[in-house]
């Protein structure tokens, strides 16, 4: 799936592996992905989950995608909601709702930004630091 404006990656949930998104086209009417060959839609890609790139690069220069697991600095506040208590580095998932990407942390939607660090994704898990 090549587009100058949108970038995707594709997870095949049946085969449990990443697929090349270049062979996938979205049906505009249904929003469903289809396998394509020579520009022709061959069959519905029912087992493929597409994840869109946020367009944001993490603090290590890696692209951030929907479904990534990130470390993100979060400032915890006192009960008054104003006074800072401490700065923590939380682990959370990047998610998407129509119109925006966000970091899903304890039922709060935080903005995705370049202070994040991609440490894995929801399919491969967290990559251990060495």
Domains and CATH numbers, the chain: 8-126 (2.30.30.290)
Residue 124 has pLDDT above 50, yes or no: yes
**pLDDT tens digits for range 39-55:** 777 778 888 898 999 99
Q: How many residues does the chain have?
A: 130
Q: What is the pTM (predicted TM-score) of this model?
A: 0.80
The model's confidence at residue 75, banded by pLDDT at 50, 70 and 90, is confident
**pLDDT tens digits for range 57-67:** 999 999 999 99
């Amino acid at each position: 799936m090549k587009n100058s404006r949108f970038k995707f990656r594709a997870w095949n949930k049946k085969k449990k592996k990443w697929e090349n998104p270049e062979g996938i086209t979205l049906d505009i009417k249904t929003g469903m992905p289809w396998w394509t060959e020579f520009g022709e839609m061959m069959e519905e890609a029912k087992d493929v989950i597409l994840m869109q790139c946020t367009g944001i690069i993490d603090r290590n220069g890696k692209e951030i995608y929907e479904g990534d697991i990130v470390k993100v600095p979060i400032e915890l506040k006192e009960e008054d909601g104003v006074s800072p208590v401490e700065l923590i580095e939380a682990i959370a998932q990047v998610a998407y709702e129509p119109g925006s990407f966000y970091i899903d942390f304890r039922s709060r939607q935080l903005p995705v930004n370049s202070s994040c660090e991609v440490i894995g994704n929801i399919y491969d898990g967290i990559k251990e630091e060495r």
